[in-house]
Amino acid sequence: MKRQKRKKWIVFGILCFIFIATFLAAVLKAPRSQDSSDIALINGEPINEREFQMVLQEQKAGVLQYFHDTYHITVNGQSWTTPINGEIPIDVAKTRAMKAMIGIKMQQILMKTEGITDNISYSHFLSQLEKENARRKATVAAGKPIYGPQVFDASTYYPYLFSNQVIALKQKLVAKEWHASDEQLQDYYNSVKEKAFRIADNVSVQQLTIDYGGNSAENFGDKAEDLKSALSKLEQDPTNGDKMDRAEAYAKKVGWSVKQDEEVYTVQDMRGLSEENYGLAEAVSTLKPGKISQPIFFGTAAHIIKVLDRKAMGYQNFNEVKDNVRQRYVDTQYAGLVDQLSGQAKVVLNRKLYDRLQMQ
Residues 85-108 pLDDT 10s: 999 999 999 999 999 999 999 999
pLDDT in tens, 193-234: 999 999 888 899 998 888 866 544 345 456 666 666 766 666
Which amino acid, residue 169?
L
DSSP element (H, E) containing 205:
strand 202-211
Low-confidence ranges of the chain (pLDDT < 50): 1-3, 5, 9, 11-13, 15-33, 215-218, 220
Q: What is the pLDDT of residue 271?
A: 76
Domain assignment of residue 22, yes or no:
no
338 shares a domain with 306: no
297 shares a domain with 340: no
Domain assignment of residue 172, yes or no:
yes
Domain assignment of residue 194, yes or no:
no
55 shares a domain with 169: yes
174 shares a domain with 42: yes
CA separation (Å) from 197 to 125, 194, 224, 274, 329? 39, 6, 37, 17, 13
Task: Give the residue ranges of DSSP H helices in the chain.
Answer: 2-29, 49-58, 60-71, 89-113, 122-141, 154-173, 182-196, 217-235, 243-253, 267-276, 278-286, 322-343, 351-356
Q: Cα separation of 132 and 139, whole Å?
A: 10
DSSP element (H, E) containing 38:
strand 38-42
340 shares a domain with 298: no
126 shares a domain with 234: no
Q: Are 233 and 225 in contact (CB under 8 A)?
A: no
Q: What is the pLDDT of residue 236?
A: 62
Domain assignment of residue 2, yes or no:
no
DSSP element (H, E) containing 208:
strand 202-211
Which amino acid, residue 174?
V
Kindly report the CATH number assigned to the domain that includes residue 230. 3.10.50
Domain assignment of residue 13, yes or no:
no
174 shares a domain with 44: yes
Whole domain around residue 343: which residue ranges?
38-178+333-356
211 shares a domain with 265: yes
Domain assignment of residue 316, yes or no:
no
Q: What is the pLDDT of residue 266?
A: 86
Q: Cα separation of 252 and 260, whole Å?
A: 12
Q: Cα separation of 118 and 127, whole Å?
A: 13
Q: What is the pLDDT of residue 21?
A: 45
CA separation (Å) from 177 to 165, 172, 286, 351? 18, 9, 38, 39
Domain assignment of residue 96, yes or no:
yes
299 shares a domain with 170: no
Q: What is the pLDDT of residue 50?
A: 95
The model carries a pTM of 0.72
Structural domain total, the chain: 2
Domain assignment of residue 185, yes or no:
no
Cα angle for residues 144, 147, 148 (degrees, 5° grid): 130
61 shares a domain with 97: yes
Q: What is the pLDDT of residue 41?
A: 97
159 shares a domain with 255: no
